[in-house]
Chains A and B, each alone.
Chain A
Amino acid sequence: MAFLSFLFRRLGLSLFVFVGVLILTFIVSRVIPSNPAALYAGARPRPEQVQEIEKKLGLDKPLSEQFRVYVGDLLVGNLGESYHSRRSINTDLRLFLPATLELVIAAVLIALVLGIPTGVLAGAYPRSPFDYATRFAAVAGVSAPSFWLALIAQFIFFSQLGWLPLGGRVSRDATLFYPIAAQTGFYLIDAAVSGNWKAWLDALHHLILPALVLSAYPVGITIRMTQASMLEVLSETYITAARAAGLSRGVILFKLALKNAIMPALTVVGLSFAYSITGAFLVETIFSWPGVGKYVTEAVLNVDFPVIIAVTLVVTLVYILVNLLIDLMQALLDPRVRLV
């Protein structure tokens, strides 16, 4: 019961934040561009042209009416049309968003699977060679520029070893001979659902390098966060009590201590997930990955407001969902949180 009311309060808060961002993006989109219609019309438009476009975009109506239309469109899921390419943003995002999400989710999973056990052991054996080695690796992972890592990874695994492809989501062969029937847009899921295992393997091959490169930062930060909070938790009396009760080291570290120590790591991984939706554009560019990062970067260069705003809203939504998820996880892990 306490949990349900906690859930509803958090949902209410999220809604509040989303409405706030909605209003803000509207204001920004109508105030900053001195003349949106001129932007839409392209280079050196005639005045009649601009007027016509203003009418078409509804810019001649009062602001309140414009806001109503803007929210109404969003409510039915219509994100509008790119000023630049005149394509529907919905269609574009249906293509780019799953690609990015697949990449970023893979990177985050790598971060959790690799970073948490490593951090636990580093925290359990402070000042050991393992601790020092992981500290070094973590700092390297956090501070190495992603484009540099990407180029090195391509050099080793593509040029030298020839184990993994250079870029793209699938190979030409896959597209031609065993294409993936798009449903969710997540190739690994779509291929698996249709039993297209050849394409599944091909998609996995393409995913490995960019996901690994993108995971360097979250892996590093997960290790550091987990290590630091383990160190703190392991000095608590309840850990001494668990040792005095004869519990095994494995149970103490990976059950009793980890449950107390995991939240900071989950929080930063969640935030780096949301950040990577747009922040992965360098990696996406180098690996020719058709993702949101690339898409929005182009939109920014073209001052393509509808696209920028649509992506902003999507990223906001992702941030809100991730925060909600983090809060829920915290409430599930810690019974005391449900009370606040």
Chain B
Amino acid sequence: MTLLKVENLHVQFTTPFGIVRALRGIDFELDKGDIMGLVGETGCGKSVTGRSIMRLLDENAEVTEGRIIFNKTDLLRLSEREMHAIRGDRIAMIFQDPATALNPLFTIGGQINDVLRAHSPAPAAQRRKATLELLASVGLPDPAQMMDVYPHQLSGGQQQRAMIALSLAAEPEVIIADEPTTALDVTIQAQILDLLRTLQRERAISVILITHDLGIVAETCQKVAVLYAGRVVEQGAVAAIFAGPQHPYSRGLLAALPRPGSRGTDLKVIPGNVPSGLERIDGCAFAPRCEFVMERCHRLQPPLFSLAAEHQAACLLHEDRVHG
């Protein structure tokens, strides 16, 4: 069942250098209870997508088109007051660097307590108990001691666990995790991803997992949307896409993944650069780097073509297969 649906989302930023078109029509669906990956290179619009859903974009941002349907309501049409009631309570967010996402001057217990107090009228003793439970549920050792600890006294992994506890405080249905493991060591990364999977299973929380690492997607997600220059170029079940990527960009990304047994020299990197959001793009944004590029790729912007029940790709190579 679809819980959250992003449709044709366009976001642009006004900057001194001109208008940056960060999102140029993002489409994807998050099913209830899934972990869905949003993957792509740095600057492709992953964080902007996440912040658009929370309606926490920077002041110079403007959503020019699109809808974000959550439980049948379009979040983009809610008043700020209505949206405020959703943040934390129904959709929560965790961030790339927990060291900067936690307030340095407040204890972990105090920060979680603030969130609890914002969302329920429970008395202080009950909030304290809830905080202890939350800290235990994210696998922090000695929750009672964690209450009075400041963020700088924790390791990166512990900080991210605390941040996850904080995001769980008001029992949200969706968690947007923006590169939650990028700032952490590899072994800690695996533990945090494990934790996210456990929470998803045990609490039926749906997760949008933003990452630039396809390896993480393969291990953690049921579905994935591959972003390129502010658009989704391929999406579907992780198994299907990893078995047979249908967009030249995702194919390139997968080929660049280190595989067991591969030597360093075998790694293929896609030549060329990502277009900047300042340029006007008429056709396929990937055309300048695509080895299959055709003449009409420069003119027509490829929509997402359905290739199978749970597999879509935005490449004109599939035009005939779909219509023919």
Is B54 interfacial (CB-CB < 8 Å)?
yes
Is the beta-carbon distance between A246 and B105 smaller than 8 angstroms? no
Contact A259:B88 (CB < 8 A) given known A246-B118, A251-B118:
no
Chain B window 168-195, contacts with chain A (Cβ cutoff 8 Å), 1 for yes, 0 for no:
0110000000000000000000000000
A246 pairs with B119, CB closer than 8 A: yes
The chain B residue sitting closest to A339, CB to CB, is B152
In the assembled complex, how far is the CB of residue A103 from the closest CB belonging to chain B, in whole angstroms? 33
Contact check, A241 vs B118: say whether CB atoms are below 8 A apart. Answer: no
Q: How large is the interface on A (under 10, 10 to 19, 20 to 34, 35 or more residues)?
A: 20 to 34
Q: Which of these binds chain A: B67-75, B96-104, B211-219, B312-320? A: B96-104
B99's nearest neighbour on chain A, judged by CB, is: A237
How distant is the Cα of A231 from the Cα of B88 in the complex, in angstroms? Answer: 24
Q: What number of A-B contacts does a CB cutoff of 8 Å give?
A: 81
**A238-B102 CB under 8 A given contacts A244-B56, A245-B88, A246-B87:** yes
A237 touching B106, Cβ below 8 Å = no
Max chain A Cβ within 10 angstroms of own Cβ: one of B86, B87, B163? B87
Contacts of B153 in A (CB 8 A): 335
> A212-254 interface mask toward B, CB cutoff 8 Å, 1 = contact, 0 = none?
0000000000000000000000001110111111111001000
**Complex contacts, B84 vs chain A, CB 8 Å:** 246, 248
Query: Which residues of chain B from 78 to 94 have any CB-CB distance to chain A below 8 Å in the complex?
Result: 84-89, 92-93
Closest B-chain residue to A247, C-beta based? B118
Nearest CB of A to B161, in Å: 15
The interface residues of chain A lying within 8 Å CB-to-CB of B51 are 240
Whether the Cβ atoms of B152 and A245 lie closer than 8 Å is no
Q: Contact between B88 and A240 (Cβ–Cβ < 8 Å)?
A: no
Say whether A246 contacts B115, CB under 8 Å. yes
Query: Which residues of B have CB within 8 Å of A238?
Result: 100-104
Instruction: Say which residue of A242, A244, A251 sits within 8 Å of B54 (CB atoms).
Output: A244
- Given A241-B163, A243-B87, A244-B54, are A260 and B103 also a contact pair (CB < 8 Å)? yes
Shortest beta-carbon distance from A99 to chain B in Å: 38
**B166 CB-CB contact with A under 8 Å:** yes
Contacts of A334 in B (CB 8 A): 104-105
Interchain Cβ contacts under 8 Å between A and B, 7 examples: A243-B87, A244-B56, A244-B87, A248-B84, A255-B114, A335-B150, A336-B104
Q: Is B95 part of the binding interface, using a Cβ–Cβ cutoff of 8 Å?
A: yes
A19 within 8 A of B: no
Asked whether B167 is an interface residue with its Cβ less than 8 Å from the other chain, the reply is yes
Tell me whether A237 and B114 are in contact (CB under 8 A): no
Q: Are A241 and B101 in contact (CB under 8 A)?
A: yes
User: Chain B contacts of A247 at CB under 8 A?
Assistant: 88, 114-115, 118
Residues of B within 8 A of A256 (CB): 103, 106, 114
> When A244-B88, A245-B118, A246-B118 are in contact, do A237 and B152 touch as well, CB less than 8 Å?
no
> Within the assembled complex, what's the spacing in Å between the Cα atoms of A336 and B150?
9
Knowing A241-B163, A245-B88, say if A335 contacts B102 (CB, 8 Å). Answer: no
Q: Which A residue sits closest to B105, measured CB to CB?
A: A259
> Once the chains are docked, how many angstroms separate the CA of A333 from the CA of B150?
12
Q: How far is the CA of A123 from the CA of B104 in the complex (A)?
A: 20
- Minimum CB distance partner of A246 in chain B: B88
| 0/1 string, A317-335, CB within 8 A of B gives 1 | 0000000000000000111
Of A236, A237, A244, A256, most B-chain CB atoms within 10 Å: A244
Question: In whole angstroms, what is the CA distance A247 to B54 when docked?
Answer: 13
- Give the CA-CA distance A246 to B166 in the complex, in Å: 11
Bound Cα distance A245, B114 (Å): 9
B41-55 interface code vs A (CB 8 A; 1 in, 0 out) = 000000000010010
- Per-residue CB contact flags for chain A residues 298-340 toward chain B (1 = under 8 Å, else 0) read 0000000000000000000000000000000000011110000
Q: Which residues of B contact A246 (CB under 8 A)?
A: 84-89, 115, 118-119, 170
Q: In the complex, what distance in Å separates the CA atom of A256 from the CA atom of B115?
A: 12
Measured CB to CB, the closest approach of chain B to A110, in angstroms, equals: 26
B86 surroundings in chain A (CB, below 8 A):
246
* Contacts beyond the supplied A237-B97, A245-B87, A246-B170: 12 A-B pairs with Cβ under 8 Å: A237-B95, A240-B101, A241-B93, A241-B163, A245-B166, A245-B167, A246-B115, A246-B119, A248-B118, A255-B114, A256-B114, A334-B105
Distance between Cα atoms of A255 and B104 in the complex (Å): 13
Instruction: Report the minimum CB–CB distance from B89 to chain A (whole Å).
Output: 5
Proximity bits, A247-282, B CB within 8 Å = 1, else 0: 110010001100110000000000000000000000
